[in-house]
Amino acid sequence: MYQLDFSKPQHIHFIGIGGISMSGLAKLLLGKKFTVSGSDGSASALTNELESLGARIYIGQSASNIEDGIDVVVYTAAIHPDNPEYAECKRRGLPMLSRAALLGQLMKLYEFPIAIAGTHGKTTTTSMVSEILLRCDTDPTLAVGGMLKSINGNLRIGSEKFFVAEACEYTNSYLEFFPKTSVILNIEEDHLDFFKDLDDIRRSFRAFAELLPEDGTLVINSDIERVSEITDGLKCKVITFGHSKDSDYHAEDIGYESTGHPSYTLCHGDEKYKVTLGVVGEHNVYNSLAAIAIADLFTLDRDKTLEALKAFTGTERRFEIKGSIGGIKIIDDYAHHPSEIKATLKAMEKYPHDKLWCVFQPHTYTRTKAFLDEFAEALKTADTVILADIYAARETDTLGVSSKDIADRINASGGKAVYFSYFDDIENYLLQNAEGGDVILTMGAGDVYKIGDRLLGK
């Protein structure tokens, strides 16, 4: 594999530079005086920012974008060999690195690289750890999979002590990382366009855990089924968190404020102390346990850790309160897996509202086909579910599946769901039916958030 020398800036081209992670890596390399170019399907706030920092951005992908003088090319898991830029790079024999390989090479520059993995909760937990490190004045370098308000973006370049990054299991990309501390939040079926089944996913997470050196540490959720299969025989230190009192960290006396924010008693050995969160949902109690375990591992100030968790109100698209129109509150959430949907809708039970209108956009045909019944079961607790067309992302429709299939299942099981092909129709339906005191919750990993933005006139 091609090895970058970060002390000798080169020209790097990013295929798919507009993604949240790719744009962050591009910014980091611009900060290290590299020449950066890249392409993406459409312009965005992220590509505009990169242009303002000196990157050359191409909208649309073409072989002609691979200009003379490029030294290395970085690409995402969504880029296939038939991509015109990828094919041109291969034709020219240019060195190529996956996004994950580049991130892994960057990790080697830091004293304490921290990788946060799991089927769900990566962005929120990465953000919690980031907020704690910032509050404790550690000057961390951060690569977050969402927009974090306190750093006004998805990347912060700090000292070469702490580096915190999300670790995604899709295409086994995180196996190219070099962490010294890792977190595994949960392990469930997902990305079945790549993994064969749940056992295949579990083998992947085991391999991720095995990346840790002898002096490293794994922080893992003890609620994971057959967790010992992930941890047995590891050379590194293992710290557990979860529901069980046998875990190193567990929560007792979970309660909720009128705003839906949880508080609990954290139990760690003989220690017990009160924790209050600035984000909603019981699932975030367990995300915060992992973050506290990381803070304790590095002996960070306990009071500042708790202050950071209380002050953290979430990242963009994670139960993000967008605004109100006519007394109707609009919230957006990234949930796109049945377990994530359940967690978000359970959090809504504690959040003040009259009627809940849940606008869901499924993400990829493969995931929709694999979880049709699970999506219907998870969504039906909303007062009314509105289904938008599937967001294809990296796929084409070869499975004969539709969002209407989810709507039909919800209605057949006693829930209420409607399906519309166009966002305009969804907006009109909401304007005609939602009333003051209601909540409109847009949900999904695609562009469903645009519905809320347009209703608010943004």
pLDDT at 343: 93
Q: Write the CA distances from 453 to 84, 123, 272, 440, integer angstroms.
A: 34, 22, 43, 12
The residues annotated as belonging to the active site are: 122-123, 166
pLDDT at 133: 98
CATH 3.90.190.20, the chain: domain bounds: 320-455
Which stretches of the chain drop beneath a pLDDT of 70? 458
pLDDT at 197: 96
Domain 11-97's class? alpha beta
CATH 3.40.1190.10, the chain: domain bounds: 110-311
pLDDT digits (tens, 9 = 90+) for 395-435: 888 889 999 999 999 999 999 999 999 999 999 999 999 99
* Local structure of 454: helix, strand or coil: helix
Rounded CA gap, 443 and 329, in Å?
A: 14
CATH 3.40.50.720, the chain: domain bounds: 11-97
Give residue for tokens 């590299």.
34
pLDDT at 387: 98
Tokens representing residue 261 in the block: 């924010």
Contacts of 416 (CB under 8 A, 6+ apart): 383, 384, 385, 410
CATH topology of domain 110-311: UDP-N-acetylmuramoyl-L-alanine:D-glutamate ligase (3.40.1190)
Decide: residue 65, CB within 10 A, 0-12 exposed, 13-18 middle, 19+ buried: buried
What CATH number does the domain located at 320-455 have? 3.90.190.20
pLDDT at 260: 87
Cα of first residue to Cα of last residue in the chain, in angstroms, is: 45
